[in-house]
Structure 1
Amino acid sequence: MGDSEKWRSQWVEPFLRHLSGERRLSAYTCRNYETALVAFFGFLDSMGKWKGDLSSVELRETRDFVIEQQNRVSRRTVHNYVSGLRTFFKYWMRQGKLEKSPFVGIALPKLPKKLPAFMTEQQVRSLLEGPMRLLEGESIPAQQAWRDRLVLELLYGAGFRVSELCELTYGQVSFDEGVARIVGKGGKSRICPLGRVAMAVLEKWRQEFAPATGYSDPVVLSNRGQKWTPRGVQLLLKKYLALADLPMDLTPHKIRHSYATHLLDNGADLRLVQELLGHAKLSTTQIYTHVNIGRLKDAFDQAHPRA
């Protein structure tokens, strides 16, 4: 077995099993952790610094890794890599395999302050109208049109993460109450109201088009009748963004940003939005208040004679 196979089997794979099995993180999140680990151990291998044991990794090597990665990936990706690597080393500290993490106190490149992108309510309406427009023009069959509309309505109506949408089963939905019980990041559970419109679309889909509606059957399916992947949902969204003449860099997560922003715009309490989004910390949700403040300032600058 080569050195790369040893670090993978001895250190990386047990950690990834912990993430997926005990912490119940999504496959997408686990892949992100794996990408960071492969980049780090690949760097150590290329520099001849990997000695077969985590306790041999020094602060100097982690600093060199951060500097080297800045020439390869974005600053945000560097931050994500280091966050994942810190979690990795903390895990093995808890297992008693090393005493301290070489990523403690490491300097990271500054990130530009960037507010979350979102759509206006009119843009969202244009997006959500897309499947019915194609159905009326006989461009797609009814089953596909209602499936596509359901996907878009659930993303915006419930603020799901794309992974949560793909994992949603009929057993998680209470049709009487109009809510879904979601298990999100880190196994954190929350109740998501689906909204009147999304529930009506879901009812029609279930009664007229869904091939199976058992407790464990997925709600949204690919054109081949299989459980959908986040990538499949992203491609579907691109199609309807083009139809609505909206920016093509909008993602399912930016629909989630729009969901949060529109709730706050219309008077929702910040802590309520925190619960609906499944954020562990209020500070994560508070960034949306900055979005609203920015919009207020823009309106002031445009309208006030002394601005």
Structure 2
Amino acid sequence: MDLEQFEEVEKWLNNVKGGSKPTYRAGLTLFCQWCGLNPAQLLDEAEEDRKKSRRERGKPEARLMEFYNYLINEKKVAKKTATLYFTAVRSFYKWNGFPLNVKTPKAAPKKENRKAVITPEIVKKLVDHASTLRDRAIILFLFQGGFDVSTLCSLNYGDVKNELEAEKIPMMIHVVREKEEVEYFTFVGRDAVEVLKAYLNDRRAKGEELKYDTPLFIKDKAKRRKGERISPHHIQNMLRETAIKAGLITKEEMDKVDFNPYRPHALRAAFSSILRLNGFDPVLVDFMMGHSIPYNGAYLIPPPEKVRQMYAEVEAQLSISTAVKDVSEIEEKLNTYKKILEDVQAENKRLREQFNALWEEVRIMNELFAQIVENPEMLSTLKEMYGIVKEMEKNPMLRMKLMELKESLQ
């Protein structure tokens, strides 16, 4: 069924944000196929339903709930997807003058759907296992810039051109977030900039001309028309595959969850947490993430260059290269401490052996002293022996004669 031929659908889609249009269109298409009615017939049915008494009304609402249960129980669609399709159909009715009195179903929380706590070490694993330069750059933009996936997809080369050519780091990016209809700026660090440069240079080397309105991130060659902009769906799938490849989650575990623990929003949330923990004002963090802020909150946003300086001071907390350096330094220090410990243990062993030897000499001296106490005449004998030893030290010839005498006696 070609939905575009219906004026009602065109009217509706004109009021849907760009990133949501494909999903909303798919949801309405599936709904029409399931119930056997086209969009115009759905609205006709809703209009007739509204003419009935209050007790008899509710057919569109009941049909929509049946559709949701069909998606979950028969089609085995993920609850997140079923909810999106439910919302899409309800939106279609609303924008055509028939708001439905039915709430969006909410799935019960599941422990499997936890959002992972993202650290620079985890981001490095994702980057190291990403299949392409593009995917590496996307992961770093999400983490170091706090982008939502739809805004990231909407970026053009012109949004970074001037800062790239000026080699500014951190790199500032002015954007408009369509979901909130908010204009704002944020920054990304050296890691993201270097990978982005490599990605763009690779595209140039393949003959692509980068213009001001060229999409910053495009689909893989095998999956796109020339220069086609990447979609949120592709990024979500990429992160699922990369998390599995990185060993952060198994395929079996991923199949059980409704949401990837390492999804774009988890990276975005980590950006927010790191800035807040490093002293950024919550209003400024919300601004840098494209959230709507109170009218008077705009006065609390420092000038861009001041924010650049603030970001530079905490960039190390967002850097995957710094994370690796820190780990290496810790390992080097541990090895140094291990060597020092080994030397101390060896010295302790040597001192213990000396102590034992001295203790044995003390024991012998104590025994000799006890014998002298019992036999005082031994003292004069010892004095004579001591005199002989001293004489031997002074007279080498005497010592040699004594040695010869000892050998002859043997």
Fold equivalence (TM over 0.5): yes
CA-to-partner distance for each residue in 1:99-158, whole Å, 9 max, x for gaps?
Answer: x52x13x25544434786134302123222345xxxxxxxx8xxx5x4443222112221
CA distance in 1 between partners of 2:173 and 2:11 (Å)? 32
Larger radius of gyration: 2
Deviates more, 1:106-115 or 1:249-258: 106-115
- Give how far 1:15 is off: 1.6
- Give how far 1:11 is off: 1.6
Alignment map for 1:166-181 (pairs within 5 Å): 166-173=153-160, 174-175=162-163, 176=166, 178-181=171-174
CA-to-partner distance for each residue in 1:75-118, whole Å, 9 max, x for gaps?
Answer: 5445434443443333223xxxxxx52x13x2554443478613
Counterpart in 1 of 2:242?
A: 240
State the TM-score, normalizing by the size of structure 2: 0.51
Deviates more, 1:28-37 or 1:111-120: 111-120
Deviates more, 1:270-279 or 1:113-122: 113-122
- Give how far 1:171 is off: 0.8
Deviates more, 1:227-236 or 1:120-129: 227-236
Counterpart in 2 of 1:197?
A: 191
Matched, 1:183 2:172: no
- Give how far 1:34 is off: 1.8
- Give how far 1:228 is off: 4.5
Contact 1:117/1:257 (8 A) holds in 2: no
CA distance in 2 between partners of 1:214 and 1:35 (Å)? 32
> What is the aligned-residue RMSD (CA, Å)?
3.6
CA distance in 2 between partners of 1:76 and 1:233 (Å)? 16
Contact 1:75/1:109 (8 A) holds in 2: no
CA distance in 2 between partners of 1:227 and 1:69 (Å)? 33
Percent identity for Structure 1 against Structure 2:
22
Matched, 1:88 2:75: no
When residues 263 and 113 of structure 1 are mapped into structure 2, their CA distance, relative to the original with a 3 A threshold, is farther
Contact 1:159/1:256 (8 A) holds in 2: yes
Counterpart in 2 of 1:220?
A: 217
Counterpart in 2 of 1:60?
A: 59
Contact 2:214/2:227 (8 A) holds in 1: no
CA distance in 1 between partners of 2:293 and 2:59 (Å)? 32
Counterpart in 2 of 1:137?
A: none
Partner secondary structure for residue 6 of structure 2: helix
Gaps of 5+ in 2: 50-56, 73-77, 255-259, 295-410
Counterpart in 1 of 2:316?
A: none
Partner secondary structure for residue 192 of structure 1: strand
Aligned residues: 251
Counterpart in 1 of 2:141?
A: 154
When residues 51 and 234 of structure 1 are mapped into structure 2, their CA distance, relative to the original with a 3 A threshold, is closer
Counterpart in 2 of 1:229?
A: 230
Partner secondary structure for residue 36 of structure 2: helix
CA distance in 2 between partners of 1:204 and 1:31 (Å)? 31
Alignment map for 1:1-307 (pairs within 5 Å): 9-16=6-13, 18-19=14-15, 25-26=17-18, 28-42=19-33, 44-45=35-36, 50=42, 52=44, 54-57=46-49, 58-73=57-72, 76-77=80-81, 79-93=83-97, 101=99, 103-104=100-101, 106-113=102-109, 117-121=115-119, 122-130=121-129, 144=132, 146-173=133-160, 174-175=162-163, 176=166, 178-186=171-179, 187-206=181-200, 208-211=201-204, 212-224=209-221, 226-230=227-231, 231-247=233-249, 249=260, 250-280=262-292
- Give how far 1:62 is off: 0.9
State the TM-score, normalizing by the size of structure 1: 0.65
- Give how far 1:40 is off: 4.1
Partner AA of 2:94 in structure 1: K
Gaps of 5+ in 1: 94-99, 132-139, 283-307
- Give how far 1:56 is off: 2.5
CA distance in 2 between partners of 1:276 and 1:217 (Å)? 24
Q: Report which of the two has the higher share of helix.
A: 2
CA distance in 1 between partners of 2:109 and 2:214 (Å)? 41
Contact 2:87/2:104 (8 A) holds in 1: no
